[in-house]
């Protein structure tokens, strides 16, 4: 990890821990989870919002006012809105994506959940998703929340990543393994 990424994740982790503890103390973890989803959606869908949080062109006041207006429009809780304003005043909005990720991890840990990133060659049916979730739950021992994406380059099969474990059953990886074996032989 690069030094700047490490610094950013460290800053985000401190804000996330403080925000999580405040929400937990106030009994507002469900609201915090909704706010995190809303912020994540805004970051992913709005180029203007990404520019606002990353651009050094905006002054502290301009960022603070803009973030306050966005928070009000999105209906974010007071705790989250105040944290965003504080981050703007300290010129720390650039760590917002890492903050969202850190909060997701803390909320999932509190709920006894784990997130699995699943890449499939084709869209999974509801039954396949349910069976995969049940299999992962029995393997991991926690409820599994899945982020499923379709990657046609896999040809067939799945790549599942849960924490530091990765299971690759894709045909592409099997073909690459076969290709490497063939190179060793001939």
In this prediction, residue 6 carries a pLDDT of: 77
Q: Could you say which DSSP state residue 35 is in?
A: H
Please, which pLDDT band fits residue 7 given cuts at 50, 70 and 90? confident
- CA dist., res. 175 & res. 58, Å (int): 50
Q: Between the ranges 7-11, 95-99, 106-110, where is the mean pLDDT highest?
A: 95-99
Mean pLDDT of the residues in the chain:
92
The last residue of a domain, from among 109, 125, 148: 109
Please, which pLDDT band fits residue 94 given cuts at 50, 70 and 90? very high
In this prediction, residue 2 carries a pLDDT of: 61
DSSP bridge partners of 146:
116
Which tens digit of pLDDT belongs to each residue from 19-56? 999 999 999 999 999 999 999 999 999 999 999 999 99
Q: Is the pLDDT of residue 131 over 90?
A: yes
Residues 75 and 151 in one domain: no
In this prediction, residue 90 carries a pLDDT of: 94
Residue-number span of the structural domain to which 76 is assigned: 3-109
Q: Is the pLDDT of residue 1 over 70?
A: no
Residues 93 and 28 in one domain: yes
Cβ 81 vs Cβ 71: under 8 Å: yes
Element (H, E) at 142: none
E-assigned strand segments in 33-127: 113-120
In this predicted model, which residue has the larger pLDDT, 171 or 7?
A: 171
The last residue of a domain, from among 46, 77, 109: 109
Query: What are the φ/ψ torsions at residue 168 (nearest 5 degrees)?
Result: -115, 105
- CA dist., res. 101 & res. 57, Å (int): 25
- CA dist., res. 26 & res. 38, Å (int): 20
Please, which pLDDT band fits residue 186 given cuts at 50, 70 and 90? low
**What mean pLDDT do residues 88-107 have?**
94
Residues 30 and 104 in one domain: yes
In this prediction, residue 164 carries a pLDDT of: 84
The last residue of a domain, from among 61, 84, 109: 109
User: Which among 88, 102, 92 is positioned nearest to 36, based on CA atoms?
Assistant: 102
How many independent structural domains does the chain possess?
Answer: 2
Give the number of other Cβ atoms within 10 Å of residue 42's Cβ.
21
Q: C-alpha dihedral over 62, 39, 150, 181, to 10 degrees?
A: 80
């Amino acid at each position: 990890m690069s030094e700047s990424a490490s610094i950013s994740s460290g800053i985000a982790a401190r804000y996330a821990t403080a925000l999580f503890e405040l929400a937990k103390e106030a009994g507002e973890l469900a609201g915090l989870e909704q706010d995190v989803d809303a912020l994540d959606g805004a970051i992913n869908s709005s180029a203007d919002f990404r520019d606002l949080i990353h651009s050094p062109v905006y002054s502290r006041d301009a960022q603070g006012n803009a973030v306050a207006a966005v928070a009000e429009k999105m209906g974010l809780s007071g705790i989250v809105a105040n944290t965003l304003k504080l981050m703007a005043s300290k010129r720390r909005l650039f760590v917002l994506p890492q903050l969202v990720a850190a909060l997701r991890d803390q909320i999932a840990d509190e709920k006894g959940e784990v997130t699995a990133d699943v890449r499939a060659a084709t869209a999974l049916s509801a039954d396949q998703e349910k069976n995969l979730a049940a299999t992962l739950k029995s393997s991991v021992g926690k409820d599994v929340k899945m982020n499923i994406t379709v990657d046609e380059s896999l040809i067939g099969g799945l790549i599942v990543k849960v924490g530091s474990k990765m299971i690759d059953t894709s045909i592409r990886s099997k073909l690459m393994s076969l290709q490497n074996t063939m190179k060793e032989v001939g």
